[in-house]
Amino acid sequence: MQAGTQAARIDAKGLACRRGDRLLFAGLSLALGPGEAVQLMGANGIGKSSLIRILAGLMRPYAGDVSRIGQVGLVDERPALDPQLPLGRALQFWRGIDGAADVEQRPSLALLELDGLTDVPVRYLSTGQRKRAALARLLGQGAPIWLLDEPLNGLDTGAITLVEGLVANHCRGGGVVVIASHQPFALAGLTRIAMADYAA
């Protein structure tokens, strides 16, 4: 098991989400322990991203509650990397924030095929490169709980396989993963939640 993942878990009970006057979903519960993963499935606008934000603690549920054991790492459509900085410096900034400044980042960059782009400003990276950069930040964070919102968007077939492998390795190490995606995701033992089943 990876350090910090032994007791990692996330539990949600009776969650409901309201956006304006519209109730997106209600009565949704999930429980994940070490090595477990779930995919949230459904069309755009059904509430997948809102649920991810609720699980991350960035948004309050309309009803229900969430408990977490372990640090949370979030990857969504906003990579949170300074577009003006070269990629290497942008990632190093977050490594300082995440308390991982002394951890070598080159292996993660090489794994994600970004090691040749460290001097390139983030604003010049392609959509797929920015997504892989966000994953490099996630790996550097060392969080046992991964919340991934549409992690395959903008990736080619090879990069999709790479991301699926990263998630599989995280689970093998005792990590917990929640994936919000309308795309198929290949992962042994992955459970799936159809958000339409909880539409209010």
Per-residue model confidence as pLDDT tens digits over 138-164: 988 889 999 999 999 888 999 999 999
Q: What is the pLDDT of residue 1?
A: 43
User: For the segment 48-105, what is each residue's pLDDT rounded down to a tens digit?
Assistant: 999 999 999 999 999 999 999 999 999 988 878 889 999 989 988 887 777 655 555 6
- The third-level CATH classification (topology) of the domain covering 9-198 is Rossmann fold (3.40.50)
Can you spell out the DSSP letters for 117-137? -TTSBGGGS-HHHHHHHHHHH
21 burial level (CB within 10 Å; 0-12, 13-18, 19+): exposed
**How many residues can be counted in the chain?**
200
Domains of the chain, residue spans: 9-198
Q: What is the pLDDT of residue 127?
A: 87
Which residue from 72, 91, 71, 96 is spatially nearest to 80, judged by alpha carbons? 91
Residue 3 has pLDDT above 50, yes or no: no
pTM of the predicted model, to two decimals?
Answer: 0.89
Task: Give 128's contacts (C-beta < 8 A, 6+ positions apart).
Answer: 154, 155, 156, 159
CA distance 104 to 102: 6
